Structure 1
Amino acid sequence: MTASGLTGAPLTKVWLAGLSFASALLGAFGWRRILRLQLVPNLAHSHEAWRLLTSLMAFPTLSELLTALVLLYQLRAVERLMGTRRFAAFLAVSGLVGQTLTLVGMRLARVNAVAAGPYVLLFACVHQFHLLVPHAYYIRVAGVMVADKWTVYAAAACLLAPRLKVAALLPAAAGVAASMAYSADVAGLKRWRLPLWAGHFAQRWIMPLVSATPGAGATRRASPMVDVAPEQVELVAGMFPDADREHIASVLRMVGNDTSRAAAVLLDS
């Protein structure tokens, strides 16, 4: 059994809300132009390096936004397995490396502009989902047996489908490549973490904006241990005494209570 909703994935919850708000705000005020990432004139002539960040903030169309929200909601499992602090570091690393690779790809492919939106981050998460999240069962879809994870890949394909051209494929491929570099721990990327002050700031000022009432939150915090045997948690905790028990329970739940695989995930963290 897996946790329902966004339990154990606070950063994904913030990302969902922020992506929706930013897309709506930019659309309402006609500011979608800041999402555009072009070599000429934005970067080469105007030196607007800030567009490397703003291009990841939102989507310019409602259809892209809705598809991305569906995909992102399914990708919440990645944060549950990584833990929020490591997931935040992964997004930061993927954004930096992915955008750099996007620029390199634009120069090599002689593409002046890429599709606006956080394609780099989403497809980096899709790659981690493929690596970390085990399938629970197989089902038949259109006569073909596929794992239950197929809905994530279908949502990712739907996000790319309207823009099946280099402008969208480049940042998506760059995101996957950045995730691969992270998994391979190139230049120690996997060991980097956001500073503690950033976590404290987010917990104090950002999380209250998207959190439910304290009572509901307390209920959600108490629920992660329900479907995992305490002895399994303690068994894994014996190997990782510094790991949070709630995080161990979340990992066990995501890997189907397989203690060996849970230990591998925690060791990789």
Structure 2
Amino acid sequence: MTASGLQGAPVTKLWLTGIGLASALAGLFGWRHNLRLQLAAAPNGLQLWRLLTSLSGFSTWPEVLAALVLAYELRVVERVFGSRRFASFLVVAGVVGQALTVAAMRLAGLRAVAGGPYALLLACVCQYWRLVPRSYYVRVAGVAVPDTWGVYAAAACLVAPRLLVAAVPAAAGVVAGMAYSADVAGLGRWRLPLWMASLARQWLAPVVSARSARTDADVAPEHVDAIASMFPDARREHIAEVLRMVGNDANRAVAMLLDSS
């Protein structure tokens, strides 16, 4: 049995809430123009605060809907990574993605690109492609596609309608995700400080993650014990979550944990 909903993914839940709230406030108060990342709005060519606001929300509701669906599907990445590493990954992807976006805009002479966390979402798609195995194939319109096709379809639905203005941040996200996977300059090993993770767990976890009554009862305790001995730094809850994702298959769980380490 796999975990349902956003169980085991508190960072994803907070991220979903943030995207929806930021997009709604931008629409309500007429701030949508502030979500664009643009280079010609200040004497020095860049308003630094836009590096943050352009990652917060989207300017149109079709984008918001597609992004929320995609981020929800990508919750699997957090379950494999663990919440602290996933939050660290989002920070790295945001910094690298924005740097690459600005560099590409200057090289191409672009004044602005679409606002929204395209880079973060596409970087997550890269991790999903690397970590989540294709278990079986289904037929869609007569074509055999892997069972993971929904994530890639959601990503296409997000980017394709605004391809001309979203291609640069989306491509930057893909490159950032690949750089993270390859551990370029130690990016894949960087983690948020423990004190920051502890504060988030203390103050934010009660708000965004309701405790589920489910325990490790639906996974084999001997599998959890065996894998815990191989990954002493991994929490038992994290190991159990990965086991649920792969149908209690210990070999596949070990492979996923190795890939995510």
Gaps of 5+ in 1: none
Partner residue in 2 for 1:145: 144
Q: TM-score, normalised by structure 2?
A: 0.94
Q: State the Cα deviation string for residues 31-66 of structure 1 (Å, max 9, x = none).
A: 122212111124733x41121111000111111101
Q: State the Cα deviation string for residues 134-187 of structure 1 (Å, max 9, x = none).
A: 12321100111111111111111001121121x201111110100110110111
Higher mean displacement: 4-13 or 192-201? 192-201
Aligned-partner SS, 1:117: coil
Amino acid in the other structure paired with 2:59: P
Change in Cα spacing, 1:121 to 1:42, as seen in structure 2 (3 Å) is farther
Question: 2: CA distance between counterparts of 1:234 and 1:211?
Answer: 25
Aligned length in residues: 260
Change in Cα spacing, 1:200 to 1:59, as seen in structure 2 (3 Å) is same
Residue 103 (structure 2) pairs with residue 104 (structure 1): yes
Percent identity for Structure 1 against Structure 2: 64
Q: Please list, as runs of the form range in 1=range in 2, the aligned pairs for 1:31-180 lying within 5 A after superposition.
A: 31-42=31-42, 44-45=44-45, 47-165=46-164, 167-180=165-178
Question: 2: CA distance between counterparts of 1:211 and 1:160?
Answer: 30
Partner residue in 1 for 2:235: 244
Shift of 1:224: 5.0
Aligned-partner SS, 2:7: coil
Gaps of 5+ in 2: none
Aligned-partner SS, 1:123: helix
Change in Cα spacing, 1:224 to 1:168, as seen in structure 2 (3 Å) is farther
Aligned-partner SS, 2:135: coil
Change in Cα spacing, 1:227 to 1:42, as seen in structure 2 (3 Å) is farther
Amino acid in the other structure paired with 1:169: A
Residue 5 (structure 2) pairs with residue 9 (structure 1): no
Question: 2: CA distance between counterparts of 1:204 and 1:234?
Answer: 27
Change in Cα spacing, 1:143 to 1:84, as seen in structure 2 (3 Å) is same
Question: 1: CA distance between counterparts of 2:83 and 2:126?
Answer: 17
Amino acid in the other structure paired with 2:207: L
Change in Cα spacing, 1:155 to 1:34, as seen in structure 2 (3 Å) is same
Shift of 1:261: 3.5
Question: 2: CA distance between counterparts of 1:254 and 1:190?
Answer: 23
Partner residue in 2 for 1:255: 246
Amino acid in the other structure paired with 1:36: R
Amino acid in the other structure paired with 2:26: L
Amino acid in the other structure paired with 1:122: L
Change in Cα spacing, 1:148 to 1:211, as seen in structure 2 (3 Å) is same
Question: 2: CA distance between counterparts of 1:184 and 1:211?
Answer: 31
Q: TM-score, normalised by structure 1?
A: 0.91
For the 8 Å contact 2:7–2:209, the answer to whether it is kept is no
Question: 2: CA distance between counterparts of 1:208 and 1:237?
Answer: 26
Aligned-partner SS, 1:226: helix
Partner residue in 2 for 1:19: 19
